[in-house]
Amino acid sequence: MKLLVTGGAGYVGSVCAARLIESGHEVVVLDDLSTGHADAVPSGARFVEGDINEVIGSVLAEGFDGVLHFAAKSLVGESMVDPAKYWQGNVVTSLRLLDAMREHGTPRLVFSSTAATYGEPEEVPIAESAPTRPTNTYGATKLAIDHAITSYAAAHGLAAVSLRYFNVAGAHGPVGERHAVETHLIPLVLQVALGQREQIQIYGEDWPTEDGTCVRDYIHVTDLADAHLLSLEHAVAGEHRIYNLGNGTGFSVKQVIDTCREVTGHPIPAVIAPRRAGDPAVLVASSERARTDLGWKPERADLTGIVRDAWEFTRSRQEA
Ligand SMILES: NC(=O)c1ccc[n+]([C@@H]2O[C@H](COP(=O)([O-])OP(=O)(O)OC[C@H]3O[C@@H](n4cnc5c(N)ncnc54)[C@H](O)[C@@H]3O)[C@@H](O)[C@H]2O)c1
């Protein structure tokens, strides 16, 4: 297939673009480099540098079999203090993409949605049938886009899949996580091992979990990329399918830090800080629907392997 990857210079998009090329697809990456890196675009892809809002019509006019839409603003804290950036950057931009796809007859869409669409869960593991009550603007904008996709699929025959990722981690060979503003636990802990940060903060050790720290679901970025390939194959015209993607196994903050200590050999000092408002105790995905419908299963669920891949990537960047 000939595929457009928006946000393909970012973390998840660049790994997916690489995986699509490895599987024989023709890939064009569209990215404005607002948070991405030109050197993350895989060499087998054609790179168009530009903002979706400005160039999407002319790009799609050349004809594509599908779009994988990763481009977004995705910092939860920032979304609360600068909501316009998120409603414009996520919702308005995605509507422009949907309209351009309709105009040029692009038949398939795979969209990066998020666990943040659910908010505080009533039950874990979280299934797709769980209520969607986002507790931050970022999650609200992603949910709004999901709603828009549902109606475009029904009205215009788009074959669409939204993938709601839990915590993405690890690296795919030379492509990994390089956010200028890092908020994700594993890269933050690895920054301590590299000497770029003195210590890691643990937000509360009095949560109702086994060791008192929050539990999250970490999915290897290569497993996530594989779910995108399967979604392209299984997308059905006129339908919008939604799948949660996680390992289905939770790891506590302390377990993650201990694993990083083992993998790096660094003592990684940690300090206990107060709980953060809005942090649920446990967030774990049920990915049963993705397993049943797409035949997807995580092949790299082991936390040590996820951390090792992230560490090898981080160290190689350090030495480069
Ligand atoms: N990383 C995670 O743990 C995680 C979890 C859940 C969902 N997601 C979603 O997955 C997607 C990818 O996340 P990521 O961590 O790779 O983020 P990222 O910031 O590394 O990548 C996003 C890319 O989109 C580009 N971009 C943003 N706005 C654009 C625009 N208007 N036009 C063209 N390019 C634009 C950026 O330059 C960047 O390269 C996002 O939609 C994010 O919300 C990520």
Query: What domains, with CATH codes, occur in the chain?
Result: 2-168+220-245 (3.40.50.720), 169-217+248-319 (3.90.25.10)
Q: What is the pTM of this model?
A: 0.97
Per-residue confidence (pLDDT) for residue 319, from 0 to 100: 75
**Measured from the CB, is residue 119 less than 6 Å from ligand 1?**
no
When pLDDT is averaged across residues 21-32 and rounded to a whole number, the result is 98
CA distance 55 to 210: 50
Distances in Å between the Cα of 271 and the Cα atoms of 128, 173, 181, 193 are 35, 32, 21, 15
Q: How confident is the model at residue 318 (pLDDT cuts 50, 70, 90)?
A: confident
When pLDDT is averaged across residues 226-249 and rounded to a whole number, the result is 97
Per-residue confidence (pLDDT) for residue 277, from 0 to 100: 80
pLDDT, tens digit (0-9, with 9 covering 90-100), for 190-199: 999 999 999 9
Q: How confident is the model at residue 146 (pLDDT cuts 50, 70, 90)?
A: very high
Closest CA relative to residue 68, chosen from 124, 10, 123: 10
**Measured from the CB, is residue 71 less than 6 Å from ligand 1?**
yes
CB 28 within 8 Å of CB 59: yes
**Measured from the CB, is residue 139 less than 6 Å from ligand 1?**
no
Copy the structure tokens of residue 191. 């920054």
Q: What is the DSSP string of 87-139?
A: IIIIIIHHHHHHHHHHHHT--EEEEEEEGGGTBS-SSSSBPTTS--B-SSHHH
What distance in angstroms lies between residue 72's CA and the mean position of ligand 1's atoms?
4
Based on the residue annotation, tell me whether 11 is a catalytic residue of this protein. Answer: no
